Chain A
Amino acid sequence: MWLRLSRNRMAIVGLVIIALFICTALLAPYLAPYNPLKQNLLLISGGPSAKHWLGCDQVGRDIFSRIIYGTAVTFKIALTSVLMGLFLGTAIGALGGYYGGKVDAGVVFLADILLAFPGLLLAIAIVAAVGTGLGAVIIATGFSTIPQFIRVTRSVVMGEKEHNYVLAAQAIGENHRSIIVRYILPNCIAPIVVLLTLRVAAIILIASGLSFLGLGVQPPTPEWGAMLAEGRGYLQKAPHIAMFPGLAIMIVVLAFNLLGDGLRDALDPRMKI
């Protein structure tokens, strides 16, 4: 699979872009030329220039620095949420797929309830209940990801549990937890990795959407969706305030989609779209 992936140029481009953004997130304090929170009233809504490559926002903060720091915020949300969805969703899906019967029926019902809500609506409903802020966004976007992991893991585990190696493990007296964790799940990694990559893209869109609506990360924390919302009122006079954060979101999401598509094609060329 990895050899097939390495031959997919667009997937490699996506991987390189993601790596660049991760480095940016980790090295933000060293890369950002200015303090992202520092206001300069002499540079309000200033356009791109040699000193401020992407210009300044409505209170004179450097947009380039805020986008760099916003990368860290975005990746923090995306990584934490997707891991939440991964661990909870995979565990629940594996239980349903392995045990079957009433356990499986319960798991399917739970997944169907969560899938009955469009992702953004579920996130909005959770934020309405728990409040706004970084923690709320992580919980909301994490929850919206759980049902997809349940579905995929359940489906793959149901297929794997019929294989001889599982029967052999049962025959030698391994307990069910050990069989699921040590034998079955390692053989389910490929489709879960594909889903993980594609879900990160979806989480970034949902999280930035929540912040755009004012329900996510709160100002003055530099978050791309919130920056877009702030720039909305200045569209006519200073369109760069809204345009550059949106471009950043698009590039990162595109990179994850390219990588996810490449992984899916490498996993099963018959699934190629």
Chain B
Amino acid sequence: MVWGMINYIIRRLLMIIPTLIAITMVSFFILQVVPGDPARAMAGIEANEKDVQAIRKQLGLDKPIYLQYGIFLKHIVQGDFGQSIRSRDDVIKQIWPRFLNTLRLAVASISLSIVIGIIAGVIAATRKNSGIDYLTMGLVLVGISAPTFWMGLLLILVFSVFAGWFPAGGTGGFLSLVLPAITLAAPSAAVTARMTRSSMLEVLQMDYIKTARAKGQKEMKVVFKHALKNALMPTITIVGMQFGYLMGGAVLVETVFTWPGVGWVLVDAIFAKDYPVVQAGVIFIAASFVFVNLAVDILYSYVNPRITYD
């Protein structure tokens, strides 16, 4: 079984290579489609033609497009994302610490969404068609439908402006993480609650649950020991997918709370037409989305004994 699992992991890793290459292609072609001359943009408006040509040659922009892409890919693999047009600094030095900030926010959000989502789903399922069930599902619908940036502003208004409990932005310690994490977690918690409720309802109908109740086991034990364990399988998949979406959706939350993550850097770079930073931002976020989905697939195959590794 161990060899089967290792084999499966290696195969899945090989399968994501074409997707990662496609991500770099999309990122590369952003610069090709943008109007204007990237070499001129890097040299500056007042640079003479000789300097622009020198930069063009230095960046390989005078070569055929397929060679340019090859050079781009080679540099990416070596961790070289080029230099920022604005700061002239290595892009990786700008992006990496911001990426870690986004990761911190995403991990905090997914942890919150798992706890809130699963508890809400279990409560709704065990009190089906009651007032609590309708209230929970109503909140779920609001969580899925409300725009995250609006929810963030609402939380700032209530908890920062009126109550003064939390800062409205920045990264000044744990308190600064609370509101952005809640904002980012809300839609994910809603989806998790929905899925947990649905799978709990299915599992609670099973014969072995009836047997456990007939044997006189306490309801808490029936729900948490017998039912929840089996109901969590589909929830794991959903949670994993949500983590990937959190990395992408963090752009909006980072903008609302001026959280210095990779999403905020990406949007800022678009306005500044700092395309090497834009390319790096797109690659980082998309690649982390792919790797998280891969990790979820592997985790799911590990916890679900019915999956074989053929």
Q: Which residues of A contact B251 (CB under 8 A)?
A: 120-121, 124, 209, 213
A228 touches B153 (CB 8 A): yes
Also in contact, A258 and B141, with CB within 8 A (given A124-B270, A250-B147)? yes
| Known A113-B22, A250-B147: A121·B285 in contact at CB below 8 Å | yes
In the complex, A99→B146 CA distance in Å?
A: 41
Q: How far is the CA of A33 from the CA of B285 in the complex (A)?
A: 44
7 inter-chain pairs at a CB distance below 8 angstroms, sorted by A residue, are A116-B22, A124-B266, A209-B147, A239-B157, A246-B153, A249-B146, A273-B198
Given known contacts A117-B289, A209-B147, A273-B198, A243 and B154 CB-to-CB distance under 8 angstroms: yes
Which residues of chain B are within 8 angstroms of A272 by Cβ–Cβ distance? Answer: 198
Q: Is A129 an interface residue (CB 8 A)?
A: yes
Does B26 contact A117, Cβ atoms closer than 8 Å? yes
Q: CB-CB < 8 A to B278: which residues of A?
A: 125, 128
* Contact between A250 and B145, CB atoms less than 8 A apart: yes
A242 to B141, CA, bound (A): 21
- Other CB < 8 Å A-B pairs besides A129-B30, A246-B146, A254-B141, 12 of them? A116-B289, A117-B248, A118-B245, A118-B286, A125-B27, A129-B34, A209-B251, A209-B252, A235-B161, A242-B150, A253-B145, A254-B145
Q: Which of B108-157 contact A (CB under 8 A)?
A: 141-142, 144-150, 153-154, 156-157
B19 within 8 A of A: yes
Bitwise interface map of A from 122 to 163 toward B, beta carbon under 8 Å scored 1, else 0? 001101111100000000000000000000000000000000
The answer to whether A118 touches B248, judged by C-beta atoms less than 8 angstroms apart, is yes
Asked if B23 CB lies within 8 Å of chain A CBs, one says yes
Give per-residue flags for A216-257: 1 if the beta carbon is below 8 A from chain B beta carbons, else 0: 000000000100100110011001001101110110011001
Docked pose: A212 CA to B153 CA in angstroms: 12
- The answer on a CB contact under 8 Å between A235 and B156 is yes
> With A116-B290, A130-B33 as given contacts, are A213 and B147 in contact (CB-CB < 8 Å)?
no
A257 touches B141 (CB 8 A): yes
Q: Are B145 and A257 in contact (CB under 8 A)?
A: yes
Contact B153 A124 (CB under 8 A): no
B249 contact from A120, A228, A232, A254, Cβ within 8 A: A120
A118 and B142: CB pair below 8 A?
no
> Could you say which of B149, B247, B275 has the most chain A C-beta atoms within 10 Å of its C-beta?
B149
Number of residues of chain A lying within 8 A (CB) of chain B: 44
**Please, which residues of chain A bring their CB within 8 A of the CB of B98?**
none
Q: What sequence of 0s and 1s flags, for each residue 29-66 of chain A, a beta carbon within 8 Å of any chain B beta carbon?
A: 00000000000000000000000000000000000000
Specify which chain A residues have a CB less than 8 angstroms from the CB of B30 in the assembled complex.
Answer: 125, 128-129
A235 engages B153 (CB within 8 Å): yes
Question: Could you tell me the distance in whole angstroms from the C-beta of A249 to the nearest C-beta in chain B?
Answer: 5
- In angstroms, Cα B194 to Cα A232, docked, is 31
Instruction: Indicate if the CB atoms of A113 and B145 lie closer than 8 Å.
Output: no
Q: Once the chains bind, are B147 and A208 in contact (CB under 8 Å)?
A: yes
Per-residue A-contact encoding for B283-309, CB less than 8 Å = 1, 0 else: 001100110000000000000000000
Q: 3 shortest A-B CB distances, which residue pairs?
A: A118-B248, A246-B150, A254-B145
B222 within 8 A of A: no
Q: Is the C-beta of B195 less than 8 angstroms from some C-beta in chain A?
A: yes
Q: Which residues of A contact B180 (CB under 8 A)?
A: none
A130 (CB) vs chain B CBs: closest residue: B33
With A120-B249, A128-B278 already in contact, the answer to whether A254 and B142 are too (CB < 8 A) is: yes
> Counting CB contacts under 8 A, is B276 at the interface?
no
Say yes or no: is B103 at the interface (Cβ < 8 Å to chain A): no
> In angstroms, how far is the closest chain B Cβ from the Cβ of A137?
14
Contact A118-B26, Cβ < 8 Å, known A215-B270, A246-B153, A246-B154: no
Whether, in the assembled complex, B282 has its beta carbon less than 8 Å from a beta carbon of chain A, the answer is yes
Task: Indicate which residue in A118, A127, A242, A245 contacts B285 across the interface (CB closer than 8 Å).
Answer: A118
Contacts of B286 in A (CB 8 A): 116-118, 121
**In the complex, what distance in Å separates the CA atom of A22 from the CA atom of B26?**
36
Closest to A254 in B: B145
Contact call B252/A113, Cβ cutoff below 8 A: no
Contact B26 A242 (CB under 8 A): no
Given A113-B26, A119-B248, A239-B157, A249 and B270 contact (CB-CB distance below 8 Å): no
Residue B216 is within 8 A (CB to CB) of chain A in the complex = no
Q: Does B244 contact A (CB under 8 A)?
A: yes
Residue A87 CB within 8 A of the other chain: no
Contact bitstring B1-45, A, C-beta under 8 A = 1, else 0: 000000000000000001100110011011001110000000000
- Do A201 and B33 have beta carbons less than 8 Å apart? no
B248 near A273 with CB under 8 A, answer no
**Contact yes or no, A242 B249, CB < 8 A:** no
Distance (Å) between the CB of A154 and the closest chain B CB?
A: 18
Chain A residue with minimal CB distance to B264? A213
